Chains A and B, each alone.
Chain A
Amino acid sequence: MSQAVAGVHASSRSGRRMALPRFHQVAAVVLVLVAVVAIAAPWLAPYSPSAQSLDQIRPPSGAHALGTDALGRDILSRMMYALRTDLLLIVPAAGLPMVVGTVVGTLAGYAGGVLDAAVRWIADVFQGLPLYIFLVALVAAMGRGPASLLVAFTALGWIVYARLVRTEVRRIKTAGFVEAAYLLGRSSPQVLVQHVLPHALKQTATYFVLDLGMALQGVAVLSFFNLGVKSGTPELGAMVADAQIFIRSSTWMVALPGAAIVVLGVCIAAVGDHLSSRTRGESDGR
């Protein structure tokens, strides 16, 4: 116990003095590169992601740096576009729960009373729902596509943020500087925006990054089971699923998008972990 606390303390110290430790730095750089590639895919990709050719199932070569798939599409181009698809899915899938949860948590924490009790009750109900079963049910009801994913992730994801923000708001609400701001003439909403929310948001940022990882996993898994994006859309999980029958003969077709998912997930986790140990260190140490 004391070891763990000491570790957090030390890392928060060194985090303030130096830049990010190396692993996190690398991970952050990779994520930035991925974002750039995703945004610039239309200009960077050598081929159209849907352009088919007769060169089917080719290993990496001069013409196709990462080879081609069963329909003769360029795997490199498809992966670039897949990053785009995935980022466009996971950023809102992690962001919308954060926004909803933060708003709900702030109101519940600041107002207290009946509203707070109601929010807690609803949160308890939603928390009981298992993610993947809920997702499958929702997709069945609403149909496949980004909207279903977004609704499902938001329905389950807001709870964490709401709880976190509510706790923070309740804690900060009674801090001297918040009460002083009220006495000095700020109205309650002004106090909330100026003094309470910024503190709560620092914590949610960490969860947002970690949730990106969860969303990536969720999107990939659903697409793998053909419940996510429409078939033919370049998406990492779907690419793995499409290529799995060739896993013995043409391993690269599965390995490349699979590896991309793993690398992305690890980088997100590394950055998220670092952020979380830093915010925890700050709130402990100060």
Chain B
Amino acid sequence: MRTLLEVEDLRVDFTVGAHGRRRRLRAVDGVDLVVREGEILGLVGESGCGKSTLARTLVGLQAPSGGRISLGGDLLPRRRPAAVRKRIQMIFQDPGSSLDPRHTVREALLAPLRVHRLADGAGEEARVRELMGLVELPERLLDAKPRSLSGGQRQRVAIARALAVEPDVLVADEAVAALDASATGAILNLLADLRTSLGLTVVFISHDLSVVRGLCDRVAVMYLGRVVELGRTAEIFARPRHPYLQALLAAVPRVGAPIAAPPLEGDEPPSLLDPPSGCRFRTRCPAAFDRCVTEEPALVTRGGALVACHLADRC
């Protein structure tokens, strides 16, 4: 498959603290990532691992501090003009705030068509109805305000609105985290269907590994701003090599299995303001040894996956 979106050595810094005590916080630290055309790539990790910042940087809501992002071979500028922004769209976590409460569904869908002059007069209405069909919403909801829609319906409208500009990539940031189990399944099925019918490329950010497991072709696991493991979902979930992914998978609740507290040291991931030397995961890793303190493991290929761990060969 062709490479569509390519991220090289991406860094995103924030300054925190008041005058005098300003410090730099590097939320994304040297991420390399390739998104292939027509695939669904999962991005997982605990809160604070930088996955949402990475998502916002991909779509252009956050300017990178360093590194490159290219789309279909074109290097994307730090500040993107409208025509470039439209090529990567985003679905947000909170379906309550992803639509303007004052606008009807029709108005929400018409706006992007008008900005980019994608349809005219009669064509507009036809396109709006077509979009409603794509996300499997009845046309009678066109005149509804977001208030009268359920969470799942709002998220569908948000997806339809993003599809209106025919983006190359759709970035979904925890798009189902706020939905009930039944609505979640329906939205995930919709994303999978759109990939099949439109050839849509999706970057799917989630903290829920069960969801990622069912939807994504490949998964990147992030820890403290870095990718620590990346590979085909079926493969790395069946044979996780990085101790962090092993801990994450062990912690997923399973019907019929006893509660398993993850084998992690300490009670909290370390602060991004002061990341550990060497391997960033070493302070919580049950298998850490001397080399982990001094030397940062590189992302290397092991059995079809990429892993950043000194013990990658042993696992």
The answer to the question of A55 belonging to the interface, with a C-beta cut-off of 8 Å to chain B, is no
A184 in complex: contacting residue of B61, B99, B165, CB < 8 Å: B165
B301 CB to closest chain A CB (Å) equals 34
Please state if B102 and A179 are interface contacts (CB–CB under 8 Å). Answer: no
The answer to the question of B213 belonging to the interface, with a C-beta cut-off of 8 Å to chain A, is no
> Given known contacts A184-B115, A186-B115, is B89 in contact with A176 (CB within 8 Å)?
no
Contacts of B85 in A (CB 8 A): 182-185
The answer to the question of A180 belonging to the interface, with a C-beta cut-off of 8 Å to chain B, is yes
- In the complex, which residues 70-119 of chain B have their Cβ closer than 8 Å to any Cβ of chain A? 82-83, 85-86, 88-90, 92-94, 96-102, 108, 111-112, 115-116
Q: Which residues of B contact A (CB under 8 A)?
A: 59-61, 82-83, 85-86, 88-90, 92-94, 96-102, 108, 111-112, 115-116, 147, 158, 161-162, 164-165
A176 in complex: contacting residue of B60, B94, B147, CB < 8 Å: B94
B86 in complex: contacting residue of A175, A185, A198, A286, CB < 8 Å: A185
Please state if B97 and A175 are interface contacts (CB–CB under 8 Å). Answer: yes
Contacts of B93 in A (CB 8 A): 176
**Complex CA distance for A177 and B92, rounded to whole angstroms:** 9
Q: Which residues of A contact B (CB under 8 A)?
A: 175-187, 195, 198-199, 286
Contacts of B83 in A (CB 8 A): 185
A-B CB contact pairs (8 Å), 26 listed: A175-B97, A176-B92, A176-B93, A178-B100, A179-B92, A180-B90, A180-B98, A180-B161, A180-B162, A181-B100, A182-B85, A183-B61, A183-B86, A183-B88, A184-B86, A184-B115, A184-B162, A185-B83, A185-B85, A185-B115, A185-B165, A186-B115, A198-B102, A286-B96, A286-B101, A286-B147
Q: Which residue of A lies closest to B96 (CB)?
A: A286
**Complex CA distance for A183 and B93, rounded to whole angstroms:** 16
Contacts of B115 in A (CB 8 A): 184-186
Contacts of B116 in A (CB 8 A): 185
Q: Which residue of A lies closest to B93 (CB)?
A: A176
**Complex CA distance for A183 and B59, rounded to whole angstroms:** 7
Q: Which residue of B lies closest to A198 (CB)?
A: B102
B243 CB to closest chain A CB (Å) equals 35
Contacts of A183 in B (CB 8 A): 59-61, 85-86, 88-90
Please state if A180 and B92 are interface contacts (CB–CB under 8 Å). Answer: yes
Please state if A179 and B90 are interface contacts (CB–CB under 8 Å). Answer: yes
A227 CB to closest chain B CB (Å) equals 43
